[in-house]
């Protein structure tokens, strides 16, 4: 399925460049030159991703972003030019997923779009997966000598409780809930740390290393939390 991208940008030359390049990359593209029409188009056309300028006629990008964030979880990338705008976007009080500072390269934009779409699709897959699950929320998940007790928030190995930091527990629980599935670092960051987290995917790698030191027989040859080359990590059992 082709992903749909809505561009809300009033600068005609940028609008045209973005539209041309994104169509060339295979996306379906619609453009709007003001905040109000853009908001309505987002509601009716239901794009998979939104590129949103800040200074716009009729309604500014921050307002559009705030309104849409209450209605939909589509990824929103803010296109910003001024330093004081950047401060507000970085604060992410408006609920954007990412931002780019003008002028930016198409290559950089393309990478950000792909990342955001990938995470968004994975989140939807997970939601579908979670909805289809009959598993109880509170239970003991048993994998050989490893038991994750989700009611007590406790990991036991060979019956002995293992000390986990809160994020280690959440990460392990997330991996186990989705056992057998490769989970990308971006997705793990989004689900375990949340969108307002300022770190990067190395945070995930560090926590994986800590977890392995606690759950693997040989942390250097992991069999439970395996690395999936180019994709991320997968819990095997």
| Closer residue to Ca ion (CB): 55 or 147 | 55
177 binds Ca ion (CB under 5 A): no
Judge whether 172 and 163 are in contact, CB under 8 Å.
Answer: no
Among 84, 83, 78, 87, residue whose Cα is nearest residue 109: 78
For residue 234, whether the previous peptide bond is cis, meaning omega lies within 30 degrees of 0, is no
Q: CB of residue 31 vs Ca ion: minimum separation in angstroms?
A: 13
Of the two residues 101 and 123, which places its CB atom closer to Ca ion in the complex?
Answer: 101
Query: Does the protein bind Ca ion through residue 85 (CB under 5 A)?
Result: no
Q: Which is nearer to Ca ion, 10 or 177 (CB)?
A: 10
Task: Pick the closer one to Ca ion by CB: 51 or 113.
Answer: 51
Nearest distance in Å: CB 46, Ca ion: 24
Residue with smaller CB distance to Ca ion, 12 or 206:
12
Half-sphere CA count of 163, side-chain side, radius 13 A = 0
Binding map of Ca ion across residues 40-69, x = CB under 5 A, - = no contact: -------------x-x--------------
Rounded distance between C-alpha atoms, residue 78 and residue 86, angstroms: 9
CB of 51 to Ca ion, least distance (A): 12
Task: Enumerate residues 6-35 that contact Ca ion by CB under 5 A.
Answer: 10
Give the separation between CA 101 and CA 79, rounded to whole angstroms: 6
Taking CB atoms within 8 Å and a gap of at least 24, the contacts of 18-22 are 18/51, 18/109, 21/106, 21/110, 22/113
User: Site residues (CB under 5 A) for Ca ion?
Assistant: 10, 53, 55
């Amino acid at each position: 399925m082709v992903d749909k991208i809505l561009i809300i940008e009033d600068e005609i030359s940028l609008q045209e460049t973005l539209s041309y390049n994104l169509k060339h990359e295979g996306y379906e593209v619609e453009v709007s030159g003001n905040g109000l029409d853009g908001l309505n188009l987002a509601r009716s056309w239901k794009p998979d991703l939104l590129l949103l300028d800040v200074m716009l006629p009729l309604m500014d990008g921050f307002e559009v972003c705030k309104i849409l964030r209450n209605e939909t979880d589509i990824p929103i990338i803010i296109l910003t030019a001024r330093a004081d705008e950047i401060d507000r976007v970085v604060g992410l009080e408006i609920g954007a997923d990412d931002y780019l500072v003008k002028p930016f390269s198409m290559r950089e934009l393309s990478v950000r779009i792909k990342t955001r779409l990938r995470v968004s699709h994975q989140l939807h897959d997970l939601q579908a997966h979670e909805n289809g699950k009959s598993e109880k929320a509170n239970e003991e998940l048993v994998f050989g000598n490893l038991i994750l007790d989700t009611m007590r928030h406790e990991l036991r190995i060979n019956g002995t409780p293992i000390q986990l930091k809160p994020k280690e527990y959440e990460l392990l629980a997330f991996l186990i809930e989705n056992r057998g599935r490769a989970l990308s670092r971006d997705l793990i960051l989004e689900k375990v740390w949340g969108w307002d987290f300022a770190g990067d995917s190395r945070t995930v790698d560090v926590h994986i290393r800590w977890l392995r030191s606690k759950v693997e027989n040989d942390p250097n040859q992991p069999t439970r939390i395996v690395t999936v080359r180019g994709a991320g990590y997968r819990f095997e059992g």
